[in-house]
Amino acid sequence: MTTAYILAHFDDEYFALPMILEERRAGVAQKFLYVADYASADLAQRRLGETRAFLQSQGVAEADIVHVGAGTGAMDGDVRAGAPAALAAARAALAAIPGLDRLVVTAWEGGHPDHDACALIAVRLAQDLGGVRVDQFALYSGRGLRGRLFRAGSPLPENGPVRRVRLPLADWARFALGVRFYPSQWKTWLGLWPTMFLTYLLRGFGSQQLAAGRVGERPHEGALLYERQFGVSYAALQDCRDRVLGAPS
């Protein structure tokens, strides 16, 4: 049994730690594929080094952490524009993984356009693999909020039933302290970390299955966070969806 994580950025794996620990305890092999390209090789190596340090501290081998997006042009912040190339790179990497029976991806939630682009890529990959299961985990969204306000770690009800992942206290402490592995992202964590852990304390950590038809729907009613904060329209993600789900194998 093998699970492959389809992620945009180096640090997205942090939000999935409860799932990673659960899979490790169950003896499931785990692979991590990152599809965003970066503006400079130095930035990519620094970010990749942080991700490797974090995942290796959780028992993941360096060989199982692959930057498939390098050189694809699916740039950080604009993965949707290079999504077909990122899809092809991820598809090639998955072809070398035996026993693959599940994909895990960032949620279809309207928070960051790169995360939603990854959800589209994962849905297409699952189709190419004969319909393997795809699970999603929440990062952040602005559902029911205005301006730059967001909720972190809160699964959207539109994404269906939530499966709660139980963690012993020691793992919650490990989760909370894991941000220390990402010094280059400290400004990001200043805003995300308190909100995220307040949500986890109140509701726990949960994942949801991502059905293929779900990505044909707007993530939620009202303005999406990436529309308000990044100036990216939902139409741009619809265009990405058309190109990814219609791309040839």
Domain edges within the chain: 2-245
Give me the pLDDT at residue 247, please.
56
pLDDT of residue 183: 95
pLDDT digits (tens, 9 = 90+) for 116-154: 999 999 999 999 999 999 999 999 999 999 998 999 999
pLDDT score recorded for residue 189: 86
Report the C-alpha gap between 9 and 92 in whole angstroms. 19
143: three-class secondary structure by DSSP: coil
Residue-level pLDDT at 167: 86
pTM above 0.85, yes or no: yes
The strand pairing partners of 33, in sequence order, are: 6, 66
User: CA-CA distance, 213 to 203, in Å (whole number)?
Assistant: 27
pLDDT on residue 201: 84
CATH class of 2-245: alpha beta
Phi–psi pair at 48, nearest 5 degrees: -60, -40
Beta strands at 140-141 and 151-152: parallel, antiparallel or unpaired: antiparallel
Asked if pLDDT for residue 37 goes beyond 90, the answer is yes
Segment of 6-10, 176-180, 193-197 carrying the highest mean pLDDT: 6-10
Confidence of residue 182 (pLDDT cuts 50, 70, 90): very high
Q: What is the pLDDT of residue 120?
A: 98
Q: Show Cβ contacts of residue 32 under 8 Å, excluding neighbours closer than 6 positions.
A: 4, 5, 7, 13, 51, 55, 60, 64, 65, 66
Query: Do the beta carbons of residue 153 and residue 139 sit within 8 Å?
Result: yes
Counting residues of the chain whose pLDDT is more than 90, the rounded percentage is: 84
- Over residues 63-74, mean pLDDT: 97
